[in-house]
Amino acid sequence: MEVIGWAGTALVIIAYYPQIHHLLVERCAWGLSISTWVIWLIASTLLLIHCILRRDYLFMIVQSINLIAIAITIIAARKSNNLCPYHLTVARTAAGQ
Ligand SMILES: [Zn+2]
């Protein structure tokens, strides 16, 4: 059963990679809602406290990873000042250019 938990933890790590890579490499935060990510940051903090109080080590690790990845996402998004070629095309198409 513990294998399922670790597989889920691995997927949490993998799931953040495309977004963080896009933010750090392309410096593009197109379509990203900072408000949503701040809510997730607060939720992950509360869930981490819950895990600590229950001494649930697997979920402590997952929530710690979530907190770090969410914080990196928010910081990188706030520093983003570029549109990648793909999102530039999407933005121009939406603007009718
Ligand atoms: Zn982009």
Q: Is residue 13 part of a domain?
A: no
Number of domains comprising the chain: 1
Is residue 28 within 8 Å of residue 80, measured between CB atoms? yes
pLDDT the model gives residue 11: 94
55 belongs to a structural domain: yes
Classify residue 87 by burial, with Cβ atoms within 10 Å: 0-12, 13-18, 19+.
middle
- Within its chain, how far is the Cα of 78 from the centroid? 13
Burial of 60 (0-12, 13-18, 19+ CB in 10 A): middle
Could you list the residue range(s) of the whole structural domain that residue 46 is in?
A: 32-97
Tens of pLDDT, residues 71-94 = 999 999 999 999 999 999 999 999
| Residue 4, in any domain of the structure | no
Q: Yes or no: say if 30 and 95 are a contact pair by the CB < 8 Å rule.
A: no
Q: Which residues surround ligand 1, an ion (CB under 5 A)?
A: 28, 30, 84, 87
Has residue 16 been placed in a domain? no
Q: Please give the distance, rounded to the nearest whole angstrom, from the Cα atom of residue 68 to the centre of ligand 1.
A: 22
The answer to whether residue 70 is domain-embedded is yes
CA–centroid distance, residue 26 to ligand 1 (Å): 7
Q: Is 64 part of a structural domain of the chain?
A: yes
Q: Does 1 have pLDDT greater than 80?
A: no
- For residue range 12-66, list pLDDT tens digits in order: 999 999 999 999 999 999 999 999 999 999 999 999 999 999 999 999 999 999 9
